[in-house]
Amino acid sequence: MNYLSGFSKLFLILLIVYLLSAFFAKSNFKVERTRVVQASQKLVYNQIGILKNWENWSIWQEKDHSIQYTFEGKDAENGAVMHWKGDPEKSGTGLIEIIQADPPYSMVYKLKGKLPFSIQSMGSFILSAENSKRTTVLWTDHGQIPFLLRPVLMFIDVEAIMAPDMERGFFKIDSICSSFQNQIQLIMHQDSLKI
C-alpha cells in the first residue's frame, strides 16, 4: 500500500510540475523568412495565391508522396481552400484557407492540420516588387501553442523545425518563377526580332 501511495505522490508532483511548466512556457510561436525571388511580382503571387500551385513547391509533396489534394472556391480569392490527406505520420490531414487575398501584394491564410496532434496557425505572404524582375517576399507563420503541449515544446525549437521547410519552399518558388520569367523574356525577345 505504501508503494502505491508513494507512486501516487510522485505522479501528483510530476503532474503539478508539468502543469506549472505549461503555465510559464511560451504560449505562441512565430517564424519568418524573407527571400528575393528573381521574377515579377505577378508571377510570384500566382505561385503563392493560387493554392493549386502549392503542389509545385510545397515541401509536403517531397516528404509525403502519398499526399492528395482537393480544392474549393475560386483561385486566389478569399475563402479558397486546399484540403490535404496523406500519410498520418508524415503530413496527416488538414486544410489551408485563404482569409485575405490582395493580389499581387499579399495573402493571409489559416492552416488547420491533424498529425499525431492538432495544429493551427495563421500565415501570410507579403510581396513587394523591387523591379519588374525581382520581388521580395516575406513569409510569416504564427500560432498559439496548446496549453498541454507547451512543456514539450520548451525543449523543441519550432523555428529550427519550420525554417528549413520554408527555405526549401522559397527555393522551389524561386526556381519555378525564374524559369517562367526567363521564358517570358525569351518570347519577348523573339517577338521584338520579328518587327
**C-alpha grid cell, residue 132:** 519588374
- 127 forms beta bridges with 137
Q: Which residues of the chain have pLDDT under 70?
A: 1-4, 116, 189, 191-195
Residue 178 structural domain: 27-194
How many Cβ atoms sit within 10 Å of the Cβ of residue 39?
26
* C-alpha–C-alpha distance, residues 104 and 4, integer Å: 64
98 found inside a domain: yes
At 182 the pLDDT is 77
16 found inside a domain: no
CATH number at residue 190: 3.30.530.20
Instruction: Return phi, psi of residue 53, to 5°.
Output: -75, -15
Which residue in this structure is represented by grid cell 525564374?
178
- What is the reported pTM? 0.83
Structural domain count, the chain: 1
15 found inside a domain: no
95 found inside a domain: yes
9 found inside a domain: no
Is 8 exposed, middle or buried (CB count within 10 Å of its CB: 0-12, 13-18, 19+)? exposed
Query: Whole-angstrom distance between the N-terminal and C-terminal Cα of the chain?
Result: 97
Closest CA to 77 of 41, 111, 52: 52
At 192 the pLDDT is 58
6 found inside a domain: no
* C-alpha–C-alpha distance, residues 170 and 181, integer Å: 16
128 found inside a domain: yes
138 found inside a domain: yes
DSSP state of 128: E
- 134 forms beta bridges with 131
